[in-house]
């Protein structure tokens, strides 16, 4: 079964690689692996192309980076930057990919591949997302980058895929809040717990964590002795999510109140 990461790679292969690599076919000569100095941009690009096809992504990035170093104003430079970033990405060298992409976006804001650069930048963060029990800076950065992509290029094929991933990231961030909230609740730090559950309800209203958040918040209020707030919260959760498994739990909590 194709994973969501594979789907992202499939989109990139279809919409980017053909446009960037086909022009290299028919070039004469081959880059010297041992010494890249003095080679033409065409030779360097072809060397990078062959290394990429051989899945030697680190070597491919070296060739593509060399074009920017030796021939920064050539017609190959912009293409090479994107291919260097993609090569680093395929090697899971995310920091190098991000540096290359940031430079490309700053230097070429109007380039036809800039939408892709935002998308790849978002994927670099997205694929480093940790589980919900850990710090979520990568998730937030991925979300911010995809938001930029959608705002700037709403009709691009990359924006469509970014929207799909945004829902997953929202659930991821909400799940992290729930993890912390459950920890506080377990340790009877009720105010801190309630604040986390309210943050899920108010900050991530479309996430799949909200039904549980209503239940946990109702528990907090009951433990505080705030029966009126518990009833209001519980009834709101029941009204919004009547078919949720958490609704029966809420009903059991408040039926005697």
More confident residue, 113 or 17: 113
Integer Cα distance of 43 and 61 in angstroms: 14
Integer Cα distance of 20 and 15 in angstroms: 9
77, with CB counted inside 10 A (0-12, 13-18, 19+), is: buried
Domain range for 1 is: 1-128
Quickly tell me which residue has 């078919």 as its tokens: 243
Q: For residue 246, is it within any domain?
A: no
Quickly tell me which residue has 């990429």 as its tokens: 52
pLDDT in tens, 33-67: 557 888 899 999 999 999 999 999 999 999 999 99
Banded model confidence at residue 118, pLDDT cuts 50, 70, 90? very high
Is it the case that residue 152 has pLDDT exceeding 60? yes
Q: For residue 74, is it within any domain?
A: yes
Is it the case that residue 135 has pLDDT exceeding 80? no
Q: Which of 6-10, 49-53, 201-205, 226-230 has the lowest mean pLDDT?
A: 6-10
Percentage of the chain modeled with pLDDT above 90: 70
Integer Cα distance of 250 and 238 in angstroms: 7
Which of 78, 72, 128, 76 is CA-nearest to residue 98?
128
Q: How many domains does one find in the chain?
A: 1
Q: For residue 175, is it within any domain?
A: no
Q: What is the CATH number of the domain that holds 38?
A: 1.25.40.10
Integer Cα distance of 103 and 57 in angstroms: 20
């Amino acid at each position: 079964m194709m994973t969501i990461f594979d789907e992202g790679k499939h989109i990139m292969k279809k919409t980017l690689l053909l446009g960037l690599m086909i022009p290299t076919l028919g070039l004469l000569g081959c880059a010297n692996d041992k010494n890249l100095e003095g080679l033409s941009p065409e030779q360097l690009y072809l060397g990078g192309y062959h290394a990429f096809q051989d899945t030697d992504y680190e070597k491919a990035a070296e060739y593509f980076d060399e074009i920017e170093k030796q021939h920064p104003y050539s017609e190959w430079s912009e293409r090479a930057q994107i291919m260097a970033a993609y090569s680093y990405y395929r090697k899971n060298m995310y920091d190098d990919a991000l540096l290359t992409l940031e430079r490309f976006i700053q230097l070429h804001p109007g380039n036809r591949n800039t939408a892709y650069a935002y998308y790849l930048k978002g994927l670099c963060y997205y694929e480093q997302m940790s589980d919900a029990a850990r710090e979520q800076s990568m998730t937030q950065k991925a979300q911010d980058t995809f938001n930029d992509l959608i705002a700037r290029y709403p009709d691009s094929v990359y924006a469509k895929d970014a929207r799909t991933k945004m829902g997953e990231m929202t659930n991821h961030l909400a799940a992290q809040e729930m993890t912390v909230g459950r920890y506080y609740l377990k340790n009877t730090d009720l105010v801190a717990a309630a604040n986390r559950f309210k943050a899920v309800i108010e900050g991530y209203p479309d996430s799949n964590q909200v039904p549980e958040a209503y239940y946990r918040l109702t528990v907090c209020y009951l433990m505080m002795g705030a029966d009126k707030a518990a009833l209001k919260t519980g009834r709101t959760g029941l009204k919004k999510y009547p078919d949720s498994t958490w609704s029966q739990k809420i009903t059991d909590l408040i039926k005697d109140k």
